[in-house]
Structure 1
Amino acid sequence: MTRRLLLVGAGHAHIEVLRSMKEQPIQHVDVCLISPSEHFYYSGMISGYVEGIYSLEEVRVDVKRLAHEAGVHFIRKRASRVYPNFKKLFCQGGAVYPFDLISFDIGAKSQPGQLVPSPEYSHMNDPNKKMVEQIEELRQTSQPLIVGGGAAGCEVALALQAYKARNEIPGQVRLVSSSSVLNSISKRTAKKLRSIMESKGIQVWEQERAEVMYDDYIMTSANNKIRHTGVLWLGGPLADPLFEASGIKVDEKGFPFVTDTLQFTDYEFIFGAGDCVTLETYPNIDKSGVHAVKQAPILYENLRRFSYAKELTVYEPQKVALYILSTGMKKALLVYGPVTAHNKRAWKLKNKIDREYMDKYK
């Protein structure tokens, strides 16, 4: 008897599941991929796109094509709620999809839903607006503001500044962070990154939370008025409300727990990977594409084994992960445990890793 597997979201883990299914389909399982976008944008190369090094096609994967090649049905919809006890997924617009097995890889949000712009703020960046469109606008503005001091925010700020320098577009990129920049790594490395940003002319505000948004400035928690000509929100990861609304067990931030087999703690037929879940045995690891990529083959293998009623394999996160942050002008900051290096060789290594990763899905 054929069973139905729903893959919800098209993140790092699920595109690898699609590639694996193309090579080795799961027999007697009808697979559907549900995603609001037909493309997967690879986070590792976004800063290079912002800077103008990569084209749009080089940094994204055609998910609809990949699904078709894998024999997977593609449905362009956004999931809104899951009813585990009835094994049904509800999507925006009212469509309902029954399932026997389901996997989530929907990422995390970066813009808090409770942030309400002032009545005077008429063009606050729309969460549904493609980041690509926002980048095109911000490249040309004189004071683009990045909200968020994590790896993504810092990389994009540096890339925007580099784009301006390459194309002789006047202006100064600004960045505001509710914590210190890159606070998930060592203070020494974070200090190095801040020094790099300041040397490029980027103005940085730390320990200040954006609270009220106006057309041409924001007010921060320190009652500071920061002027801007456009805002891109790249704050810390925020959980999709789908899980809590569905009555699923979540952590204090709203992310559902998964076991080391990537199964939800209360439902063995629900799997999850990437930024949208919290690993119960390692709750404090960063929500990063680095871990999602490593989880991907484990997720595929366990979806296959679960379908065949076989013993599942376990995901063990690497103790030390390699991070390479592009800093503009084909230089990068490499971080591996206590080792740091900032040079062109680090960027060349990053470029090699990123291109090899994307080549698998082209």
Structure 2
Amino acid sequence: MFPPTKWDELERLISRHVDSILHILLLLSGGRKSEVLSLKRSVVLREAGTVDEFGIVEGRTMKPSRTSLGDKRNWPIPAQVVGWLKTQAKLAEVLGPRDSDGFWWSMSGTSAGVARISPHYRCTQFAERHGLAHLNDGTAHPHRYRKTIARLALLALTGAPMLVMEMFGHSDIMTTMRYLLADPGILADLREMLGERRVEVALNIVEDLDRSAGPASATLRSQRDRFFDELNIPFNERAQRVTLMQFVTAKLLDGAMDIKIIYPGVVCIRALEQTGLCAVGGRQIDPAACQSKCRFRLDLSLRIDEVYETIEDLFDHYHEAIVDKLDLPRKFFAAQILDQVEIFPEIKDHYRNDDRFLALISKAA
């Protein structure tokens, strides 16, 4: 009932608030229960700002610390949650023990007013009370939040291991990797995500194929056209996503092709037993040695602006080398310009009558 008219109704309402704060902190911080229990009433270290709308809360981490008091650490918290934490701190002042600045206090009949709670009890009872216990693969203990956050981060974020290491307060990256990869659920999700990602990448490549460049683009276009000809697919249907997916499934996802994003906009497409110009002395792809003339390289159209910028930067370095009379750097930059200009036909057409490019060709000849 709201507003509450009896003490037990008020007590239940406050208890729900405490439960909510506990769950929010566990979910947002990935904190161990000892870290969440370490919070004081002065928990808000920094109010939410107008720039990022995140505040900072301060607590202590116990497990990696060499002292019984733990080491100070903090977490970013959304602006709205900062307000809820301040409400919790105010309730602790009124209902908690007078001789403590603890953020938590017990409301049970046997230890009312004591500056402690049981996160394990509150999490498991929350699931029981709300009919959620049957959904859990095991007990709904507080540490489950760390596994949930680790799984979401690993699946959704670039550089997730380093982020999880920082968030969880691990002392080294190997601890984090063992934590992430020891969970069979995470591994299963990763395998599923990687399969979906492979389909997405392959479909994006085929959709962009007529605007792409690089030696592999011509090969792949030829394979696509031959595939559609064999199936007698009309020209007006060949750009449809469903039709393209047939080609992707038949030619790129059959297990014989290895598709790797070397860096944004550059893709390596080769059969599993083939090697490119980067794989000197072995079959492993070496992104640092990727060459524009490699027959397995495909440049997506999203790189066009980047290639223009690269060429202009190279021209600046090229002319600096001429002014400084540095012959070796001049030849290096000239070779790089020639390689970059050849990637996209429209870029080659753009520089065909450029005085700087004509002078470079003349000097190279």
Superposition TM-score, scaled by structure 1 size: 0.23
Q: Which structure has greater helix proportion? A: 2
Q: Which structure has greater strand proportion? A: 1
Bigger radius of gyration: 2
Superposition TM-score, scaled by structure 2 size: 0.23
Q: More relative contact order in 1 or in 2 (CA 8 Å, sep 6+)? A: 1
